[in-house]
Structure 1
Amino acid sequence: MTSTRDRTGPAPLLTPALLRARGEDVDGLARGARQGALHRVRRGVYCPASSWDAADEAHRHLLRVQAAAGALQDPVFSHRSAAAVWGLPLIGPWPRDVEVVAPSSSGGRSAPGVRRRTAAPVPTPVLSRGLPVTDLSRTVVDLACTEPFAAAVVAADHALGRLGLDLDAARAVLASRGSARGVRRAREVLAFADGRSESPGESLSRVRMREVGAPVPVLQQELRDGEGFVARVDFWWAEHRLVGEFDGRLKYRADGPRDRRSVEERVWAEKRREDRIRSHGVRVIRWTWQDALDPDAMRRVLGAAGLLRLGPGRRAR
């Protein structure tokens, strides 16, 4: 097995073998689950109920992968399970079953809690978070072939911008699949992916712009005036003198970014930033997750700003 960056994984899960090694009562696992102190991740594998309750869906799936890794023989986690291990964001719910690659000769037979996807040959896994997964390029290509376009772009953008995805390597993986199902869409995903998108919401917004025929914006544009730097904005349409900002609200949360300023200070700083942008005759439009998830809502936001009059394919300058 080859390895790659071996990032720190989730805390160890509780199993009978672990308790025996500690000299503790194995029956305490089932008792703890009955009493609500433990959560059963899969048969014979538990975690503290408080940890499960506090985890988001991505981390819960990661715990399922970790639990399955100790129960399956030589697993190679793939698709959405590999995405959870790599830390790739997805749009939509995370699956309850973990996904692994199995030899084509197995017929893709699945088992409770496990979905097997066939391949010939089974790829050599790499280690990420100490778990055997498909490498980053293959994971992105697998998602691009099987997930909806928007979800695949969100994952690909993140892999490019945050994890150093090698696009040439991803294209080589895709080329090896010939004309298999999903390849055409995957080519479009790789061609559209852009690591400058700094959040899943920005990536989804780009997809919506493509769908409704808005002109292509410049991403992460720096705006300057005679006094110097003004702002770096999410989206910029120069000929419209228009700034677009995806408002995910994370930056306003007290437990959001690593920003020691109070929520009030951050809101005030954002207002001053936007006022300075507008003072130079630049318009600013904002939209939220609710807008980005709804193509019709996004069309209304962009249409109200006059962006749908130029037709599809126009690129901002």
Structure 2
Amino acid sequence: MGSARALAEPRAPVLGPVTADDVRTSGLAGEDLRRAVRAGAFVRVRHGAYVPAATWESADRAERHRLLVRAAARSLAAPVFGYESAAAMWRLPLLEGWPSDVQVLVLDARGTPSTRGVRRHRLATLPDVRAVDGVTVTTLARTVVDLSRTGSFARGLALADDALHRHRVDPDDLARELAAAGSGRGVRAARRVLAEADAGAESPGESLSRARMIELDLPRASLQREVRDSSGLVGRVDFLWEELGVVGEFDGRLKYRVDGVGDRATVEDRVWAEKRREDRIRATGLRVVRWTWRDALDAGRLARVLATAGVRPAP
């Protein structure tokens, strides 16, 4: 039992996948790992790969997919990960959820079929790659274009906005990847995504909202604009329809969370500060409309919310 306890209570935290080889290298036996799994200290995430239960239970869906990718990278022969798996390693947002299979690119000539837990995408030539946390993945630009060709407009826009805003991807790199795709499946959809992508969008919720507005043919808003009054800067707003005199704010609620925030303001203090800010915006003559994830996920619902502030499709 002592050796099993050594796995269950390691001296240093184990954050990544553990294999039977790791256990043997540490001087323990495979049975020790199995005992640790039965004891609930480890979780089997794929054949031959295990993750500390505490790590798995505390991980969100994106992090769990990263753990699956890292586990697969240790067991497959020189894998190149693409699509959602590359997005996970680049820490891009994925609105439509993460697959249970890792996504691997292989040369068509190899003809290796997909297997349980691994979906293989056959290509005539492998694309440019980068190493992220020791895992070989498609470039950021290629990842965005690939996923923009295969998913919804909203998913693609959230990916492209994030790549431009947070990762500072060069738009020319995106354009080159799109051109390299020729006239293949989904290229028209990806072209629309890249035409609308904007580095001004600062969160997936804002990107989703923008996608809905475009799909609803609503007037275009300026992003992250400053609002000032006689006392100076009131703040930056998510959306501004200047000609309509309307400010739009996506309320993801995360702004009210205290955990992980550097200052010690209470939630009540934050809500009160937000109310005072909104009152100052209204005092300038602007109307303010707010919406949530629930609204943005439903195009009809968001249309109704925005219509209350006078943001409607042009006649």
Q: Percent identity?
A: 52
Is residue 88–residue 159 contact of structure 1 (8 Å, CA) maintained in 2? Answer: yes
1:290 to 290, 294, 305: 294
Is residue 144–residue 185 contact of structure 1 (8 Å, CA) maintained in 2? Answer: yes
Is residue 89–residue 155 contact of structure 1 (8 Å, CA) maintained in 2? Answer: yes
Of 271-280 and 116-125, deviating more is 116-125
Q: Following TM superposition, by how much is the alpha carbon of 1:240 offset from its aligned partner in structure 2, in angstroms?
A: 1.5
1:90 to 67, 87, 94: 94
SS class of match (1:197) = coil
What is the CA deviation profile of residues 230-279 of structure 1, one whole-angstrom value per residue up to 9, with x for unaligned ones? Answer: 11000001111110000000011222644432111111111111111111
1:213 to 200, 211, 217: 217
User: In the TM superposition, what are the counterparts of 1:261-300 in structure 2 within 5 Å?
Assistant: 261-300=265-304
What is the distance in 2 between the residues matched to 1:211 and 1:74? 41
Q: Following TM superposition, by how much is the alpha carbon of 1:303 offset from its aligned partner in structure 2, in angstroms?
A: 1.6
SS class of match (1:240) = coil
1:158 to 143, 155, 162: 162
What is the distance in 1 between the residues matched to 2:262 and 2:87? 24
2:205 to 201, 217, 220: 201
Paired residue for 1:139? Answer: 143
Is residue 250–residue 256 contact of structure 1 (8 Å, CA) maintained in 2? Answer: no
Across the two proteins, how many residue pairs are aligned to each other? 302
SS class of match (1:70) = helix
**Runs of 5+ in structure 2 lacking a partner?**
1-13
Is the alpha carbon distance of 1:48 and 1:75 closer, same or farther for their aligned partners in structure 2, counting shifts above 3 Å? same
What is the distance in 2 between the residues matched to 1:72 and 1:200? 32
Is residue 79–residue 139 contact of structure 1 (8 Å, CA) maintained in 2? Answer: yes
CA RMSD of aligned residues (A): 1.4
TM-score computed with the length of structure 1 as normaliser: 0.92
The structure, 1 or 2, with the larger RCO (C-alpha pairs under 8 Å, 6+ apart) is 1
Q: In structure 1, what residue type is equivalent to 2:256?
A: Y
1:247 to 227, 248, 251: 251
What is the distance in 2 between the residues matched to 1:203 and 1:167? 17
Is the alpha carbon distance of 1:108 and 1:298 closer, same or farther for their aligned partners in structure 2, counting shifts above 3 Å? farther
SS class of match (1:20) = helix
SS class of match (1:278) = helix
TM-score computed with the length of structure 2 as normaliser: 0.92
Is residue 108–residue 117 contact of structure 1 (8 Å, CA) maintained in 2? Answer: no
Is residue 251–residue 257 contact of structure 1 (8 Å, CA) maintained in 2? Answer: no
Q: Following TM superposition, by how much is the alpha carbon of 1:108 offset from its aligned partner in structure 2, in angstroms?
A: 6.0
**Runs of 5+ in structure 1 lacking a partner?**
1-9, 312-317
Paired residue for 1:19? Answer: 23
Is the alpha carbon distance of 1:259 and 1:215 closer, same or farther for their aligned partners in structure 2, counting shifts above 3 Å? farther
What is the CA deviation profile of residues 181-230 of structure 1, one whole-angstrom value per residue up to 9, with x for unaligned ones? Answer: 00010000111111111110000000011111210000000011222111
1:113 to 111, 117, 128: 117
